[in-house]
Structure 1
Amino acid sequence: MEYLGYFASIIIGLSLGLIGGGGSILTIPILVYLFKVDPELATSYSLFIVGSTALFGGYSHFKLGNLNIKTALYFAVPSIVSILIIREVIFPHIASTLFTIASYAVSKDLLIMLVFSILMITASLSMILDKKTIVKYPKTNFIQLGFIGFLVGIVTGFLGAGGGFLIIPALLFFANLPMKQAVGTSLLIIFINSAIGFLGDLYIGTPIDYTLLFTISGMAFIGMLIGIQFSKRIDGNKLKPLFGWFVFVMGIYIIVKEMFY
């Protein structure tokens, strides 16, 4: 299963390099089901893996001129606030067992996986049903962009997800960025959000298996390199529906596995 996990880790970077998101959607299931990492701990690992890979990809896009730093900061700063609130204040105080229904215990780990699967299905549908035309504001709407950044920070804090599938539409719609700039800028935002979340986890003493972490990250880097090269030749929008169906099936699988097995 570990060999399959390492191969799947390449897809994390491949997704980030091609469409600027989707990496975190894959990271949590890979860690939990293929590497047998506890779901709560997997959210910390995901922050490091996705964040470090996004940093590498963001730098590559910066050299290609596909990165808008000002827009990234306006989005990322509100995200940092919500991430710190969720991971350092709220998350540690959530009980391991939340409640019981007819002798069936609903745990924090189960909640993480179910919420994540719902998010996967929602994100997959947005990719499958992606509209060809996007109505944009004539200029950047920084207030609404910052508000969405705050909401994405909540997702990042609770699920360890970079939120690229939410960031990309926000940058296209509210920041009026072309697709390639939205991808590059998204990677910088993902890095900032993930770095803050992971450093916060280190501060509160989360146990980390660095060997596993660095190995998976290395495989994701390979995928990122491949994805960036492909992005120069392939329109990422054409790959979104295919990737969306893959994520949709994985989301359904998680729900069935967590609820019935």
Structure 2
Amino acid sequence: MLTSLILGALVGAVLGLTGAGGGILAVPALVVGMGWPMQQASPVALIAVAGSAAIGAVEAFRRGLVRYRAALLMTFAGVPLTTLGANLAHKLPQQLLIELFAGVMLLVAIRLLTQALRRRPTEQAMPPSRIGQVDPRTGRLLWNWTTGAALAGTGALTGLMTGLLGVGGGFVIVPMLRKFTNVSMHGIVATSLMVIAMVGSGGVVSTIRAGVSPPLMLTLLFSVTTALGMIVGRGASRYLAARHVQIGFAGVLVCVSLGMMMKAWINP
């Protein structure tokens, strides 16, 4: 019981700090910390992360940071793919799922470290020559078919990963929005939280339909502490350098992914 409370608070804090990391840490926290199989951990993690992301998205929406049209497009493209991912997760062997998850975590860690070490802390995250441009006069995102296709593809990949691995998908959304748009980092994180909340909710429904029933009490406790950690993380994010957060988060991902691989190989 205490373990689930501590793990939930830590996952929520990471989600609040990064907008991208809570989901990818929630599943291994439950798999390693609680000894659950991935199929059981996925819906619990999704419920906690989606609820916490919703809290962060509402707060960011009030501050005018959420690109809600982009978030809705990614959601509409992503939710149908959660069913495909959940069905695949239900059929794949446990060891393969853990190895796949650990591999994804290592890739994300390598990308974060590369980005953080290559640029200066004061450097702008996005050059001005991306396909999704923000109109400097209105502050709105300029839409065209290319922008729409890029965002829809991002949403579809997010939905598939959400259903397959039980992650929020922020580790897909944040780098893709940074690549395709010149939206500010605060706006990207806020939009990511909104998509995580909506696509994650669809992922919960898909995993339950696939035959997984999460334990009610532990799910509730994990979700509440994750939400509290989320609030603390969002507040702390205003005072911490994004570069330092990236490096620290990447280090955590490397350690956790190696631990998951050892778990898969030692206890196949």
Q: Distance in 1 between matches of 2:208 and 2:62?
A: 31
User: Residue 134 of structure 1: CA displacement?
Assistant: 3.4
Alignment match, 1:215 = 221
Is the Cα–Cα contact under 8 Å of residues 91 and 158 in structure 1 kept in the other structure? yes
Alignment match, 1:27 = 26
Q: Which moved more, 1:178-187 or 1:9-18?
A: 9-18
Alignment match, 2:100 = 115
Residues 67-100 of structure 1, C-alpha deviation per residue, up to 9 Å, x if partnerless?
Answer: 1100101222111121122225x444x26xxxxx
- Number of residue pairs matched? 246
Q: Distance in 1 between matches of 2:234 and 2:89?
A: 35
Specify whether residues 202 and 256 from structure 1 end up closer, same or farther in structure 2 by C-alpha distance, changes over 3 A only.
Answer: closer
Question: What TM-score results when the alignment is normalised by the length of structure 1?
Answer: 0.88
Tell me which of 102, 111, 130 is aligned to 1:137: 130
Specify whether residues 64 and 235 from structure 1 end up closer, same or farther in structure 2 by C-alpha distance, changes over 3 A only.
Answer: farther
Alignment match, 1:78 = 77
Give the % identical residues. 23
Alignment match, 1:103 = none
Is the Cα–Cα contact under 8 Å of residues 51 and 194 in structure 1 kept in the other structure? yes
User: Residue 20 of structure 1: CA displacement?
Assistant: 0.4
Matches within 5 A, 1:1-261: 2-88=1-87, 90-92=88-90, 94=91, 108-130=93-115, 131-132=118-119, 133-135=125-127, 136-137=129-130, 139=133, 141-261=147-267
Question: What TM-score results when the alignment is normalised by the length of structure 2?
Answer: 0.85
SS at match of 2:167: coil
User: Residue 174 of structure 1: CA displacement?
Assistant: 1.7
Residues 177-208 of structure 1, C-alpha deviation per residue, up to 9 Å, x if partnerless?
Answer: 10000000000000111100112233455222
Letter of the structure 2 residue corresponding to residue 125 of structure 1:
I
Which sections of structure 1, spanning at least 5 residues, go unmatched?
Answer: 96-107
